Structure 1
Amino acid sequence: MNIKHLLAIGATVAGAAALPSLAAQPPLKGTFALPGVAEKVTAELVVRETGPLTRELQIAFTDKGTGRPITQFDEELTQELHVLATDSNFSSFVHEHAGKRGADGRFSVAMRFPKPGTYHVYADAMPKGLGQQVVRFEVPVDMTTGPAARQQMPVSATQGSDGPYTVKLNASTLRAGTESMMALTVLKDGKPAKDLGLYLGVAAHAVFVSTDDLGYVHAHAMAADAGKVGHAAHAAHGGHGAQGSHGGAKATVPADLMLHATPPRAGRYALWIQFKGGDRVRTVPFVVTVPAAP
């Protein structure tokens, strides 16, 4: 090998070392995902690959009326931005929050996806003065070592588990376009759970995603006897403000809860209920069918 070949190899290695550690994809445009609510924003997502199944998501909102970047947000459940994701089979669910927002209004969120696939990623925020706005992005996530085992969508409409916790749900009262109140009970090892705490200031979260049109509904639970949990006074999305403490307070949450939700349309929804059981956040999946209103 002569000196020219050695110099060429050296230049190639040096160039490779100078490459950035994060690979950015072209910006993604979002789709408004909150049925029945006026669309007041647009949003853009830049995805940076940080590992086989990890991504940095940079999200920026623009006021649709003025065309200007949005830089001020109200807190909803102690956070300015909730980012939620599910795969195309609705078999997994991720819920993360942004770090400190930049002066330009751009959020940065670190997210670990459970397996390869295409994910529906929802950015749920409250731009100041505009109310709740939700934008959906389609984010492909691939793993260099090969695809993971394919998982199926959960099928239960009445019961699901996470570790020793089981949630029993009565969704029979759900009706399209009408606020409905569902009863749920959290059991631990078959008995009413006694170690439940507030998660982001409420007794439990629920996220519905329509399997037909990917419409999004975010609702919150309260105690069946609301007087038992003062911090969980509201259940419908909107008007919560910054409830409770970040990450959940030490207040005791009863095992019997009520969940208020207003599915906008009839059809099938994937549903995830999240709550704090013991020392960690639990996620229990369901699939519910919402009939049309009488």
Structure 2
Amino acid sequence: MFIKQLLSFGVAAIGTAAMPALASDAVTQGIFALSGTAEKVTAELSMETTGPLSRELLITFADKTTGKRIVHFDEELTQQLHVLATDSDFSSFLHEHPGKAGPDGRFRVAMNFPRPGVYHVFADAVPTGLGQQVVRFDVSVASPPGAAATPAPSSRHGSDGPYTIQLDQAGLQAGKESMLNLTVLKDGKPAQDLGLYLGVPAHAVFVGTDDLAYVHAHAMSADAANAAHGAHGAHGAAHDPAGPVPARMMLHAKPPHAGQYALWIQFMAGGEIRTVPFVVDVAKGS
């Protein structure tokens, strides 16, 4: 069934500090954001103002035990760092990649924010030898002097251009690995022009609207799902890259808490990255 949704995709950002002065905003300390996983890192972010709503964001990770900056990262789905962000009312979303860390371990990414506000920025990485680590930064992007306020986008209905997603969230429970069936439709029919996005058929990002709980999961074809799970707890679980990407997929996810989650599903269609937002309700575990 179609799930009522709340959001539209937009833009956000990430970066960090422990660096020479760059006329940047104050350093923001990260908050560990991956439920059920041991916290093995600390992280810092700073932003340099480069335009009215544009920023260069810099981020560094440090080993929590030794305090030493981390300079080596494993690639996860072709990237060393996944940057995912949403604003405080969940009306905008970004999934960005700053490329490889510099020799000093610092990641840099230039971002244009859609409007002023507070953004929740998630840095999702795999420091070598430490496993997946996710850190959240809460940053403020101020209005430029004299600028008129830009209204948040109006809610949509689970679509991006001609593409919609038919999503079945039956059985989605807190603390339990749940399976969601989804079908990508184009003009109401199963899409035939899908491709892999970062090596998988689709990505799904859940953010709890009350506690900002974070889950990043990967969809796979319905056939491949019978052989492997795509939850982000496995971070980089197997998928079948052979042949065209089918419209019918399965998604395994394990939301840590009951409640309402903003959900964005991203996929490649017609040669473009598409983003379809939802709001889903996660039931208490049995």
Normalising by the smaller structure, the TM-score range is 0.7 to 0.9
- Residue 214 and residue 240 in structure 1: after superposition, are their counterparts in 2 closer, same or farther (change >3 A)? closer
- Residue 117 and residue 251 in structure 1: after superposition, are their counterparts in 2 closer, same or farther (change >3 A)? farther
Q: 2:119 is matched with which residue?
A: 119
Q: 2:232 is matched with which residue?
A: 237
Given that residues 75 and 242 in structure 1 are in contact (C-alpha distance below 8 angstroms), is that contact kept between their aligned partners in structure 2? no
- Residue 238 and residue 292 in structure 1: after superposition, are their counterparts in 2 closer, same or farther (change >3 A)? closer
Higher radius of gyration, 1 or 2? 1
Alignment of 1:118-197 (within 5 A): 118-144=118-144, 145-151=147-153, 160-197=158-195
Q: 1:283 is matched with which residue?
A: 275
**Structure-2 separation of matches of 1:242 and 1:80:** 16
**Structure-1 separation of matches of 2:235 and 2:50:** 34
User: Structure 2, unaligned stretches of length 5 or more?
Assistant: 1-21
Q: 2:14 is matched with which residue?
A: none
**Structure-1 separation of matches of 2:55 and 2:262:** 24
Aligned length in residues: 262
* C-alpha RMSD of matched pairs (Å): 2.2
Which structure shows the higher helix fraction?
1
1:150 Cα deviation after fit: 3.2
**Structure-2 separation of matches of 1:105 and 1:150:** 35
- Residue 115 and residue 286 in structure 1: after superposition, are their counterparts in 2 closer, same or farther (change >3 A)? same
Q: TM-score, normalising length from structure 1?
A: 0.84
C-alpha distance after superposition, 1:4-47 (max 9, x if no partner): xxxxxxxxxxxxxxxxxx74111110111111111111100011
Given that residues 262 and 280 in structure 2 are in contact (C-alpha distance below 8 angstroms), is that contact kept between their aligned partners in structure 1? yes
- Asked if 1:266 corresponds to 2:258, the answer is yes
C-alpha distance after superposition, 1:204-254 (max 9, x if no partner): 0000001111111000001012289xxx9651225555989xxxx895211
Amino acid at match of 2:103: A
- Residue 125 and residue 185 in structure 1: after superposition, are their counterparts in 2 closer, same or farther (change >3 A)? same
Q: 1:5 is matched with which residue?
A: none
- The sequence identity of aligned pairs, in percent, is 65
Q: TM-score, normalising length from structure 2?
A: 0.86
Structure ranking higher on relative contact order (CA contacts 8 Å, 6+ apart): 2
C-alpha distance after superposition, 1:65-88 (max 9, x if no partner): 111111111111110000111000
User: Structure 1, unaligned stretches of length 5 or more?
Assistant: 1-21
Q: 1:256 aligns with which of 248, 254, 259?
A: 248
1:151 Cα deviation after fit: 4.1
Greater CA drift, 82-91 or 22-31:
22-31
